[in-house]
Homo-oligomer: A and B are copies of this chain.
Amino acid sequence: MHQEITKRNLFCDNVARVMTKPEPRVGEKRPGGRAERVRLSVLQAASELLTEVGYDKMSVEDVAARAGVHKTTVYRRWPTKADLSADAADLHVAEAIPMPDTGDLVEDLKLLARDVAKNIGTEHGARRSRSIVVAAAASDDLTVAMHQFWARRLALSTAVVERAIERGELCESTNAKLLIEAIIGPLWIRLLLTGEPITEEVADEIVDLVISGAKLHEVHTH
C-alpha cells in the first residue's frame, strides 16, 4: 500500500474544493511512514463506509478490514466509533472555506444555499451528513466539536451578510446569524426530519423568501 491517500473532508469536499492540510499533524510521535499510512487508510475507509452505509451500520471491524488493518489497531487509536467518525469527518479543520462575494447579497446567499443543497442533497451526501449528526449525538466530546465546527462555519457565512450591511443592502440591525440559519435550516430539516427533496431550486426559493419576507409589504421609507 504505497499510493498516497488523499484526505477527504466529509463536510466540505463539495463546499470547499480546496482542502489544504495545514500542519502534518503535530502531536504525532512518528509522522514518517507506516503509522501515518495506516492512519490515513483507516480514515479513508471510515469515510467511505460512513457515506456508503451510514454510521449505524458501519462497524469498526469493517473499517479495519477495508483499511487492511487489524481491528486492535483501530481501537487503540480511536477509543470509540464516534471518535473515529469525527476524525474521518474531519470536524476539527474546515477553516478557510471560500465564501461567495459577488457584490450582490441575494446572489451570494443563493450560491451559499445551493452549495449546502448540493452537499447534503445527494444520496451519498445525505448519508454522510446524517452520519456526522448521529455520531455527534453519541459523544459529548464530539457534540462539542461539532458545535465548534458550526460556530466557525456560521462565522464565515455571516461575513457575506455583513458585507451586504456595509454596502447598505441590509439594515444595520440585521441579525446575520439568524438570517443564515433561516436559509440553511430548512435544507437541513429536510435532510434530518421531513425527507422532502433538497434541490438547488428550493435553495433559491428559500433565499428569496427570507430576503423579501413573506408579508405583503407596506410602504417603507429609508
Contact between A192 and B192, CB atoms less than 8 A apart: yes
Whole-angstrom distance between the alpha carbons of A112 and B137 in the complex? Answer: 26
Interface 1/0 per residue, A180-222 and B, CB below 8 Å: 0110111111101111100000100110011111111111101
Contact between A217 and B216, CB atoms less than 8 A apart: no
For the complex, is A40 an interface residue (Cβ under 8 Å from B)? no
**Which residues on B sit within 8 Å (CB–CB) of A189?**
181, 184-185, 188-189
Count how many chain A residues have C-beta atoms less than 8 Å from C-beta atoms of the other chain: 55
User: Which listed residue, B177, B196, B213, touches A214 by the CB 8 Å rule?
Assistant: B213
User: Which listed residue, B147, B177, B209, touches A182 by the CB 8 Å rule?
Assistant: B209
Stretch among A18-26, A30-38, A166-174 lining the B interface: A166-174
Whole-angstrom distance between the alpha carbons of A175 and B213 in the complex? Answer: 11
For the complex, is A54 an interface residue (Cβ under 8 Å from B)? yes
**Which residues on B sit within 8 Å (CB–CB) of A171?**
214, 216
For the complex, is A56 an interface residue (Cβ under 8 Å from B)? yes
For the complex, is A150 an interface residue (Cβ under 8 Å from B)? yes
Minimum C-beta distance from A50 to chain B (A): 12
Question: Which 10 residue pairs are nearest across A and B when measured between Cβ atoms?
Answer: A213-B213, A185-B185, A147-B195, A181-B186, A217-B220, A150-B194, A185-B186, A56-B138, A212-B213, A185-B189
